[in-house]
Structure 1
Amino acid sequence: MKSGFRLVLGAAAAAATLFAATGCGASATPAASESTVTIEHAQGSTPVPVNPKKVFTYDLAALDNLEALGLEAQGVPEAEFPTSLSKYSDAKFTKIGGMKEPDLEKVAAEKPDLIIISGRTADSYEDLSKIAPTVDLSSDATKPLESFEANARSIGTIFEKSDEVETQLKAVEAKIAETKTKAEASGSTALITMVSGGKLTAYGAGSRFGLVHDVLGVTPVAEVKVDGAHGESISNEYIKEKNPDILYVIDRDTAVGTEGGQAATSVLDNELVNSTNAAKNSKIVSLDSSTWYLVGYGLRSVPTMIDEVAKGL
């Protein structure tokens, strides 16, 4: 898959591949010295050190990419980490505020070499950039695969792990192709539903969870309205009316650690939903909510997400 971002290294890596730019992106342009590389990202272009020693990230997809490459971040947000990233709950990793509200004083005091952010922290880009080189590796819901690959390649470039990134991306693309074939053969329709505080929201093609439809080719049961990161408010009656063959469920309360909330499975356990093809054929698939809602597109998380989608086919 051709990246939607342009990566061109400086003199130390003049032979790097050039990726065509489409939309916001990450690219390396000739740097002032062999120890820096300029990354083009969602909010501009930023010279960053190659192999930075102290990395802070508010983006869990970037954290997932680092882990996939045998690397670690030293600073992370306060979050409900999925099992795959649970070690970052340990106090030895500096906590740098919330994903939406960075602790600027703490970050400044710790003097990181690189800060990575994404959508939830995007509004703090200017403030964080005054502290240390900051790159915004937000995902593009309209180009999920290209965006995922480009962000992974940016991490690979910064840490001189490009070959490892390409190897892992090839494995992901093979898994995608296999699942697309399975989706086409099944002919099943699907609806992605997030449950939060007992309320239901649907997500379809072009949404933050568009991997299901846009990348893996699962047929959406209906055209769902998309408003940025938000989906369409729906009801149990809506689910019954659309009657999906597969119902993919994300439990937001579980993802963010909300206490006292009603489990998504309980919310959906009613006569209306139980009358659908999805329920009758045991095709209500509970997705790993932390991975889907908090992490998103990482080198380790995406294969897991693909496998979960495949379970419903």
Structure 2
Amino acid sequence: MKSVLLAALAATVLATSAAVGQDIVVAHAQGETSLTGVPTKVLVQDWATFDNLHALGVVAAGVPASNAPRYLQEAVPADALRIGSLFEPDFEGIAAADADVYFVAARSAEAYGTAKDILPTIDMSLADNADIIGGIEGNLTKLGEIFGLQDKAAELNEALDAKVAEVKAVAEGKGNALVLVTNAGNLGVYGPDSRVAWIHNQLGIPSAMPDVEDGDHGGDGVSFEFVLETNPDWLFVVDRDAGTGESSGAAAALLDNELINQTKAAQAGHIIYLDPQAAYITMHGYTGVMLMLDQVLAGLNG
């Protein structure tokens, strides 16, 4: 079934010819964009898309000026253009760059309306978070078609499928979980529609909280008392403050209290802190999700 899905996603990139120099039409979240041949100068306003490009071996000539995840910092070319923040692109710099393609997604998706009149622009946003793993694989497939790297994209997707299967097998029978997000001293729960929904949807770890209403930033607000009353077997934690660079270690300090320490998860050492930037900034990026899957695997095997 997954191979059929990826084949369908690959078909969204329609090539008039496989030869270099021929136009291709790329279907994406906000329409269709024509490209002439394989792009060589690439601008990207989204760190998850940068992550996917880097995994494919595509070098970006322009990147966001802020919020670079630590695990990607060494991959950013020293001479890369800084083309504005995730929310406020530098359209003058983008226009002057004379690039072949410009990728936006998620936080920068609103830039599409302006950017598409400047240069070929593609929105790599995912429709929803119900199948984040499938969404990442679909984006890798699409980028592979754009850059003539279909074999590399297939290799990455195979590795991601294998990692998910490995972690899912280890997670089976290990109990339920709450995925907590901490935000400026507040506590929330992320569920099956959140930016880390793969914990429940693809790994099969059931949520200890039914009917989670995911908030935009802070999840479904809960109290420490609620966490103790729910008493999950596992806690997965997203530190939003660390993810946005506002502070470091705030989540661990917040959760080190009498109520949380009484939970089954805490007493068994079953609290797993996900890489905050991979979980909050680049949740749709290949390397970031592989990093978090390894963290979950290590925690489950601990």
Same fold judged by TM-score > 0.5? Answer: yes
Equivalent-residue separation in structure 1 for 2:4 and 2:116 (angstroms): 26
Give 1:147's aligned residue.
135
Tell me how many residue pairs correspond in the alignment.
Answer: 295
Percent identity over the alignment is: 35
Q: Deviations over 1:275-305 (max 9, x none)?
A: 1111101111111111111112333222212
Give 1:201's aligned residue.
188
Matched-pair contact (CA < 8 Å) for 1:26–1:40: no
* 1:242 is aligned to 2:227: no
- The Cα shift of 1:77 comes to 0.7
Q: Which of the numbers 258, 267, 276 marks the counterpart of 2:246? A: 258
Q: Deviations over 1:35-59 (max 9, x none)?
A: 3321111111111243312111112
Aligned CA distance change for structure 1 residues 288 and 26 (closer, same or farther; 3 Å): farther
Provide the secondary structure at the position in 2 that maps to 1:220.
Answer: coil
Give 2:3's aligned residue.
2
Moved more, 236-245 or 284-293: 236-245
Give 1:211's aligned residue.
198
Equivalent-residue separation in structure 2 for 1:230 and 1:31 (angstroms): 45
Equivalent-residue separation in structure 1 for 2:69 and 2:95 (angstroms): 27
Give 2:220's aligned residue.
232
Equivalent-residue separation in structure 2 for 1:26 and 1:103 (angstroms): 32
Give 1:306's aligned residue.
293
Equivalent-residue separation in structure 1 for 2:198 and 2:138 (angstroms): 16
Task: Map 1:72-91 to 2 at 5 A.
Answer: 72-87=59-74
Matched-pair contact (CA < 8 Å) for 1:3–1:147: no
Provide the secondary structure at the position in 1 that maps to 2:196.
Answer: coil
Task: Map 1:69-218 to 2 at 5 A.
Answer: 69-87=56-74, 92-139=79-126, 140-186=128-174, 188-218=175-205
Task: Map 1:46-85 to 2 at 5 A.
Answer: 46-85=33-72
Aligned CA distance change for structure 1 residues 124 and 3 (closer, same or farther; 3 Å): farther
Q: Deviations over 1:208-266 (max 9, x none)?
A: 2101011111111112113567621222122112111111111111121115x771100
Matched-pair contact (CA < 8 Å) for 1:190–1:245: yes
Moved more, 220-229 or 267-276: 220-229
Letter in 2 for 1:29: L
Equivalent-residue separation in structure 2 for 1:166 and 1:275 (angstroms): 45
Matched-pair contact (CA < 8 Å) for 1:3–1:146: no
Query: How high is the TM-score relative to the length of structure 2?
Result: 0.90
Runs ≥4 in structure 1, deviation > 4 angstroms?
88-91, 227-230
Equivalent-residue separation in structure 1 for 2:151 and 2:145 (angstroms): 9
Equivalent-residue separation in structure 2 for 1:230 and 1:197 (angstroms): 9
Equivalent-residue separation in structure 1 for 2:11 and 2:68 (angstroms): 26
Letter in 1 for 2:3: K
Equivalent-residue separation in structure 1 for 2:265 and 2:215 (angstroms): 26
Equivalent-residue separation in structure 2 for 1:282 and 1:293 (angstroms): 23
* 1:27 is aligned to 2:12: yes
Matched-pair contact (CA < 8 Å) for 1:190–1:246: yes
Aligned alpha-carbon RMSD (Å):
2.2
Matched-pair contact (CA < 8 Å) for 2:190–2:197: yes
Aligned CA distance change for structure 1 residues 296 and 196 (closer, same or farther; 3 Å): same
Aligned CA distance change for structure 1 residues 289 and 178 (closer, same or farther; 3 Å): same
Equivalent-residue separation in structure 2 for 1:33 and 1:88 (angstroms): 29
Aligned CA distance change for structure 1 residues 3 and 231 (closer, same or farther; 3 Å): farther
Provide the secondary structure at the position in 2 that maps to 1:219.
Answer: coil
Aligned CA distance change for structure 1 residues 213 and 243 (closer, same or farther; 3 Å): same
Query: How high is the TM-score relative to the length of structure 1?
Result: 0.87
Equivalent-residue separation in structure 1 for 2:69 and 2:111 (angstroms): 24
